[in-house]
Amino acid sequence: MDVQIGKTYRHFNGNYYRVLMIANDSETPKGEKIKEIVVYEELHGNHRIWTRHIDLFTSKVDKDMYPDANQEYRFQLVEDYD
């Protein structure tokens, strides 16, 4: 799954977030491919800014841990969010 800058995603818990940018992790061990981090803003509450490694942002929901989750991926692109 490609993460799109400026787009809105729904977390499997129901909250909405807008991707602000993709950053490089400066702590990537030497010799490894640079790890990318998603920088995103919550579209509720205090509009806090969050970061998460891209592989976790795009991961599937652990259905054993969250059996009632209604979406396949942790963050799902929302096409029609205002």
19-74 pLDDT per residue, tens: 999 999 999 889 999 999 999 999 999 999 999 999 999 999 998 999 988 999 99
In this structure, are residues 38 and 19 in contact, taking their beta carbons and an 8 Å threshold?
A: yes
With 90 as the cut, is the pLDDT of residue 1 above it?
no
The pLDDT of residue 50 is 98
Please name which of 45, 61, 64 lies closest in space to residue 1, comparing C-alpha atoms. 61
Q: pTM higher than 0.85 for the full model?
A: yes
In this prediction, residue 81 has a pLDDT band, given cuts at 50, 70 and 90, of confident
In this prediction, residue 82 has a pLDDT band, given cuts at 50, 70 and 90, of low
The pLDDT of residue 80 is 82
Q: How many CB atoms lie within 10 A of CB 6?
A: 8
